[in-house]
């Protein structure tokens, strides 16, 4: 089992934590990770883009000129696709882009990104991140003590931590979430995964 130092808010090592090899030291499955990320991005799509077909555009009820004798190509409507203002052929219509990925694959993808982060030395465990007040400046001081102020990060809490969430929301490089809302895309999109000690234990309890 891998052992990681546990830091306090002053950046001091106050202990160690053992991380399960079954979650943090597996062989990452890149194809499953790709599939899950693809699913997450697809599920976020609104699918509301829409174009008008020939039957939906306004006008074009009368034949623009007679069939023969003009020397021009025959035309049936000024709203055919080749006319300016005409209908669109095979244009986008509202649709649902979402699809499902089996639960076992989702769990494997999470374990794969956990393992990748640990292998890259990009996981940091802190004792807690409880702040006395909602203040971004105070939170930045904590990040500086942990030497994380110049990196993008996902901070994972075991439960709701309103002071932390509101203090961090003005920092574009910082995202926060709880263990029960963890997802593959958010972990991959940040340089460092920051876990509170309680969150790390809960992850091992949930995904063991």
- Residue 127 confidence class, pLDDT cut points 50, 70, 90: very high
Same domain for 70 and 92, yes or no, is yes
178 φ, ψ (degrees, to nearest 5): -105, 165
What is d(CA 204, CA 21) in angstroms, rounded to the nearest whole number? 10
Give the domain CATH number at 6. Answer: 3.40.1370.10
How many distinct structural domains can be found in the chain? 2
Rounded to two decimals, what is the model's pTM? 0.82
Q: How far apart are CA 166 and CA 150, in angstroms?
A: 20
Question: Which percentage of the chain shows pLDDT scores above 70?
Answer: 100
| Distance, CA of 151 to chain centre | 18
What pLDDT score does 125 carry?
A: 94
Any residues with CB less than 8 A from the CB of 131 and at least 6 apart, and which?
138, 139, 142, 163, 164, 167
How many C-beta atoms lie closer than 10 Å to residue 11's C-beta?
14
The mean pLDDT of 34-52, rounded to a whole number, is: 96
pLDDT at residue 35 tops 80: yes
Q: Looking at the structure, tell me whether residues 114 and 177 fall in a common domain.
A: yes
CB 190 within 8 A of CB 176: no
Are residues 30 and 57 both part of a single domain? Answer: no
Q: Domain limits at 196?
A: 2-45+99-207
Q: What pLDDT is stored for residue 159 in this prediction? A: 85
Averaged pLDDT, 60-84: 94
Contact indicator for 135, 167 with CB cutoff of 8 Å: yes
Asked if residue 136 and residue 39 are part of one domain, the reply reads yes
Confidence of residue 32 (pLDDT cuts 50, 70, 90): very high
Cβ burial of 90 (10 Å; 0-12, 13-18, 19+) is exposed
């Amino acid at each position: 089992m891998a052992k990681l130092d546990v830091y306090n808010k002053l950046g001091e090592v106050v202990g160690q934590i053992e991380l399960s090899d079954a979650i943090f030291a597996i062989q990452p499955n890149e194809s499953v990770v790709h599939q899950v990320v693809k699913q997450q991005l697809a599920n976020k799509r609104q699918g509301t883009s829409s174009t008008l077909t020939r039957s939906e555009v306004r006008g074009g009820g009368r034949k623009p000129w007679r069939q023969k004798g003009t020397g021009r190509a025959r035309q049936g409507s000024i709203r055919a696709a080749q006319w300016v203002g005409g209908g669109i052929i095979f244009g986008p219509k509202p649709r649902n882009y979402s699809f499902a990925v089996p639960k076992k694959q989702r769990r494997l993808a999470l374990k794969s990104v956990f393992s990748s982060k640990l292998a890259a030395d990009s996981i940091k465990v802190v004792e807690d991140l409880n702040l006395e007040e909602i203040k971004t400046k105070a939170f930045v001081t904590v990040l500086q003590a942990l030497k994380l102020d110049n990196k993008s990060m996902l901070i994972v809490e075991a439960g709701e931590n309103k002071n932390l969430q509101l203090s961090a929301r003005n920092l574009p490089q910082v995202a926060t979430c709880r263990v029960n809302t963890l997802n593959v895309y958010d972990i991959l999109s940040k340089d460092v995964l920051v876990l509170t000690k309680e969150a790390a234990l809960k992850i091992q309890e949930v995904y063991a």
